[in-house]
Amino acid sequence: MNAIIQAILILTLLVTGTSTSTTKSFIASGPSMSPTINHGDRMIVDTSSDLDIERADLVIVAANDKQYVKRVVGVAGDVIEKTTRDSITIHDKKYESVIWGDVQYPIHLAEDEFFVLGDNLNNSLDSRSFGVVTREQIVGKVISIEQ
């Protein structure tokens, strides 16, 4: 069933006239997005410059001279707070995880700023370590995953 949905998405992109030059293929490396995306999974990514990025979107982010796939959990206007030694709260949702890095809390997200996390919170380099992500750092939005 998953393959059928992916085929429909790709076909829809082709039929609606969306240029295929704005889509790229990426291969996931590592466990940071498990179980949503696993090591070796292929992702089709929309790299259009005018993408609407919203909470819960999966995006490719450029940080620390690398590219990472992460989930957007914080958007403009959100406040990210460190609630205990090992958890943060974003938009009234608590994330239980190890906090590391030099990120200072609370974080107030401005326009075109995002806070991203890996789905595998205990094994992910994300905004907890490299900080807030700007719109310019977002390479694209994941539109399809082939496992």
pLDDT digits (tens, 9 = 90+) for 17-65: 444 569 999 999 999 999 999 999 999 999 998 999 999 999 999 999 9
Catalytic sites, residue numbers: 32, 70
Q: Which amino acid is at 28?
A: A
Please state, in angstroms and rounded to a whole number, the distance separating the CA atoms of residues 35 and 20: 28
Which domains does the chain possess? 2-146 (2.10.109.10)
Please state, in angstroms and rounded to a whole number, the distance separating the CA atoms of residues 4 and 1: 5
pLDDT digits (tens, 9 = 90+) for 90-123: 888 888 877 777 788 899 999 999 999 999 998 9
Token readout for 144 is: 């399809």
Under 8 Å CB-to-CB from 6, ≥6 apart: which residues? Answer: 44, 144, 145, 146
